[in-house]
Homo-oligomer: A and B are copies of this chain.
């Protein structure tokens, strides 16, 4: 399908596509595909006020009823999966399978959140005082601002929105300036769900604001938006987090990763090679969980690099709309320039580079296509410690597992990590208190491609937030500890006496 057909299939109106001034370009060929309307900074107070008003109504609705809206949203996403996936391809440059996979992730989180809507479990707790009952309950928190990035233009929003809605929180979404179209398309799907759901959904329950830093800043600064869930760069998060904290809000940060794989001598190399390639070059290396560092045991390092080089050489690079393509374009030329610059820095530090060149043949003109790069490094340098959002894989060697883990942990980020080994002791050591310091630690699968059932996120410069599964929903609610005295006595805790 050409650009026009993809856009037409989504049902976006001419007004939505071309009613504004924010130019949208497709990474496929750099073509401008839309000019969308930006939210004016002056509109933000009204947006936030509307969200607060929606909160007053939405929090009263029983959670299972709120879940019903998310269930319907899941149905609508199923119905629009193909079209929305294609738009992800068009606007973010992902290959077809990944575009569809991203929508599938939205559907999965909706199913999960529907189940949650009858749980949101607090605790009843044994009280130390006779005739007293203690419990902990979770209540809606208020509007949740969602700041998302271009590389998962729709899934990250759905992770936050599905949970926030079930938890009783309205949503204000500020997508990346690079991907407003997928956001608009999601809002239309959401609107369909709301319409089917009926009058119980207050106006302004989910709102979209489009624009740049100023818009985001309005969310970050507002006391009326108690939760800010921000996904993106460490630089962005390093500004957002303290600001939200300073006005007593709750930041949920999903920031950079510098994800590594340790390949042990016992590893199944066939599997490792496949996992490495997918993790390192999938989404053109633009996932927060993309594999960026390969820490290979000296005994197998050489063979591994050889096999990788061969695999890399055979990867189909090109138009992401073609079903055979595995590597699409980078998001824009700036991203490519940063990649090339980083490779130069690595070379200067002793790196031996394979690939990493701009691709101009057999690819749509205008897009930023690159060969993925394999960079063998003499040691973990400053350049390696930086996250570059591009398909560069640094290769390092190690002798002992302890050393490998030290290398793995010796970066500022803490998102994802993995080990390939068939050895129980190595696998479990890697997962233990002295192992990987990342929020995600896998064995015999790559660092990317998390299931929605687990909590997603990590410590250090990754920001410490958790989203998606497990009890990540607690991030969207406030906790209330309560004790009810149903006796006629007033005993004090800890046996304190205070008799009038």
Indicate if A242 sits at the interface (CB-CB under 8 A): yes
Closest to A129 in B: B62
Decide if B105 touches A494 in the complex (CB within 8 Å): yes
The CB with the most chain B CB atoms within 10 A, among A117, A120, A434, A479, is that of: A479
Indicate if A433 sits at the interface (CB-CB under 8 A): yes
Decide if B124 touches A493 in the complex (CB within 8 Å): no
Indicate if A358 sits at the interface (CB-CB under 8 A): no
Instruction: Mark A193-226 against chain B: 1 for CB-CB distance below 8 A, else 0.
Output: 0000000000000000000000000000000001
Decide if A118 touches B123 in the complex (CB within 8 Å): no
Q: Which of B123, B126, B441 has a CB less than 8 Å from the CB of A480?
A: B441
Which B residues are in CB contact (< 8 Å) with A277? 500
Decide if B243 touches A486 in the complex (CB within 8 Å): no
Decide if A485 touches B111 in the complex (CB within 8 Å): no
**Given A135-B135, A451-B493, CB of A442 within 8 Å of CB of B121:** no
Q: Which of B129, B242, B250, B498 has a CB less than 8 Å from the CB of A242?
A: B242
Indicate if A437 sits at the interface (CB-CB under 8 A): yes
Indicate if A400 sits at the interface (CB-CB under 8 A): no
Decide if A490 touches B274 in the complex (CB within 8 Å): yes
Indicate if A366 sits at the interface (CB-CB under 8 A): no
Decide if B130 touches A271 in the complex (CB within 8 Å): no
Indicate if A449 sits at the interface (CB-CB under 8 A): yes
Which B residues are in CB contact (< 8 Å) with A460? 248
Indicate if A1 sits at the interface (CB-CB under 8 A): no
Q: Considering the complex, which residues of chain A in the window 152-208 have a beta carbon less than 8 Å from any beta carbon of chain B?
A: 168
Decide if B126 touches A64 in the complex (CB within 8 Å): yes
Decide if A111 touches B481 in the complex (CB within 8 Å): no
Q: Considering the complex, which residues of chain A in the window 260-280 have a beta carbon less than 8 Å from any beta carbon of chain B?
A: 268, 271, 273-275, 277-278
Q: Which of the candidate stretches A24-32, A294-302, A367-375, A463-471 sits at the interface with the other chain?
A: A463-471
Instruction: Mark A441-483 against chain B: 1 for CB-CB distance below 8 A, else 0.
Output: 1111100011111111001110110100110000000111111
Q: How far is the CA of A488 from the CA of B137 in the complex (A)?
A: 22
Q: How far is the CA of A120 from the CA of B429 in the complex (A)?
A: 18
Q: Which of B128, B134, B455, B463 has a CB less than 8 Å from the CB of A481?
A: B455
Indicate if A251 sits at the interface (CB-CB under 8 A): yes
Which B residues are in CB contact (< 8 Å) with A130? 60-62
Q: Which of B226, B490, B493, B500 has a CB less than 8 Å from the CB of A450?
A: B493
Q: How far is the CA of A498 from the CA of B441 in the complex (A)?
A: 21
Which B residues are in CB contact (< 8 Å) with A496? 97-98, 100-101, 282, 449
- Taking the closest CB of chain B, its distance from the CB of A306, in whole angstroms, is 15
Closest to A468 in B: B481
Which B residues are in CB contact (< 8 Å) with A248? 238, 412, 459-461, 463-464
Decide if B120 touches A126 in the complex (CB within 8 Å): yes
The CB with the most chain B CB atoms within 10 A, among A105, A248, A271, A427, is that of: A248
Q: Which of B64, B131, B442 has a CB less than 8 Å from the CB of A453?
A: B64
Closest to A109 in B: B118
Q: Which of B250, B315, B451, B461 has a CB less than 8 Å from the CB of A134?
A: B451
Q: Which of B100, B120, B464, B487 has a CB less than 8 Å from the CB of A250?
A: B464
Indicate if A245 sits at the interface (CB-CB under 8 A): yes
Decide if B125 touches A119 in the complex (CB within 8 Å): yes
Top 5 A-B residue pairs of the complex, sorted by shortest distance between their CB atoms: A115-B115, A428-B486, A63-B126, A122-B124, A101-B496
> Can you pick out 25 interface pairs between chain A and chain B where the beta carbons lie within 8 Å of each other?
A60-B130, A62-B126, A97-B497, A101-B492, A114-B114, A119-B125, A123-B123, A124-B124, A124-B135, A133-B431, A133-B432, A134-B453, A245-B251, A274-B490, A278-B492, A282-B498, A422-B423, A424-B424, A424-B486, A425-B486, A425-B487, A432-B486, A445-B483, A445-B485, A449-B494
Beyond the given pairs A248-B460, A442-B485, 16 more chain A to chain B contacts, judged by CB atoms under 8 angstroms and listed by A's residue number, are A71-B111, A100-B495, A101-B495, A115-B119, A118-B125, A119-B453, A120-B126, A123-B470, A135-B135, A248-B459, A427-B484, A437-B478, A439-B478, A440-B481, A466-B479, A470-B481
